[in-house]
Structure 1
């Protein structure tokens, strides 16, 4: 996906963001990730916010709304702070999270926290207002007739558990960053 830098956003879009954040002193794109037209940490005199967005006329613009709506109710995820629609762009502000990406290699101590976090997540109900088909319904053509019970349900699941989509805070909390969520069975992982 072609990324746009903060300074290349239309001025109306930058102004709309700055109504929420205050004047931007710097904006830095993350070193990983390629799925957003805009993704950056905006630094101001009062703090930082992670800003993500796309052009309003982008066929995938609905994904950004969907992510924000699910993230608003998801435990173990950064808070959605605001949304803005200006200058032809849909932009979402998320809580800035300081941390490191987890080590997901076999035997890593971070795996225990990952299992805990994913278990807490599956206890949250899927927001029915999103009207999205459950995972097992969307994947029927790829699954056998005996759909695994773990795919049937209406709990939340994080569906892109790459280390770059998670952060471990200095306090040891593992947060799932803004990526697709799906519905699955509501039972803890073991």
Structure 2
């Protein structure tokens, strides 16, 4: 889901005034480079500290992701940046978060960030699923399975992030935190580790090594072989479809290619 990005200063004056009522005068802004799920994504610098701002028009079709992030915030303290405030002003939906220091996780082979990601996924796996409205893994993967019976493999009651793009993990002092919980999902507990495999392959890992790292997350041990193959196949179908809609996009082409490498590896195991 791609949303046209605008600078923080392009927000209506009333929206910026409401934000400054919460955090104080904004002295400088730094727009985020990655991700296009929000019309505004910027670090706001104030005299008392920095805040990260995400904003969408209130009538945008993806505004529910803002609500989801606000709803889940009290349940993922320590895993994600703290939510400072959610504002609805002049036709805009605004989220203000604690600004995280650090860098996007490096998933490449040999990266020192990988153990920090394992620790974060382990902590997330032990976090109870909150009693709020969430997406359902079975519903999200329904269109991408070859056999509808495979959908049973994805059912469960675990809290899942599902978007393990390295840009969504911020690492600082060997600790990682997850941002962008808008697509939080309820499903089988091993799924987040499986989602990570795809991004590891895209970062240059052989699928076997990617699964080795995923195996350091305890929930991976609960994944049945038939479930892993069905999931890898679903990811290949999903990313092929995304890539077909975005010809010439090297980013989606890279992920689609990784998904094909993973399902080829999984098929060779059986």
Q: Shared fold by TM > 0.5?
A: yes
Residues 1:173 and 2:175 are matched in the alignment: yes
Task: Give the structure 1 partner of residue 186 of structure 2.
Answer: 183
- Give the unaligned 5+ runs of structure 1: none
Residues 1:76 and 2:79 are matched in the alignment: yes
TM-superposition CA deviations, 1:96-119 (whole Å, max 9, x none) = 100012210123232222122112
Residues 1:39 and 2:69 are matched in the alignment: no
Contact 2:31 2:43 in 1 (8 A): yes
- Give the unaligned 5+ runs of structure 2: 191-217, 221-270
Indicate the SS of the match to 1:146.
Answer: helix
1:103-114 matched pairs, under 5 angstroms: 103-114=106-117
Would the alpha carbon gap of residues 41 and 137 (structure 1) be closer, same or farther in structure 2, given more than 3 Å must change?
Answer: same
Task: Give the structure 2 partner of residue 27 of structure 1.
Answer: 29
Higher relative contact order (CA 8 A, sep 6+): 1
Higher helix share: 2
Task: Give the structure 1 partner of residue 138 of structure 2.
Answer: 136
Task: Give the structure 1 partner of residue 150 of structure 2.
Answer: 146
Residue 148 of structure 1, CA deviation: 6.3
Contact 1:84 1:91 in 2 (8 A): yes
TM-score by length of 2: 0.64
TM-superposition CA deviations, 1:139-182 (whole Å, max 9, x none) = 23423313464x32122222121221111113x21001124322
Residue 186 of structure 1, CA deviation: 3.6
Whole-angstrom CA distance in 1 between matches of 2:163 and 2:150: 24
Number of equivalenced pairs: 187
Equivalent residue for 1:59, pick from 58, 61, 79: 61
Contact 1:123 1:186 in 2 (8 A): no
Indicate the SS of the match to 1:77.
Answer: coil
TM-score by length of 1: 0.89
Equivalent residue for 1:91, pick from 86, 90, 94: 94
Would the alpha carbon gap of residues 102 and 134 (structure 1) be closer, same or farther in structure 2, given more than 3 Å must change?
Answer: same
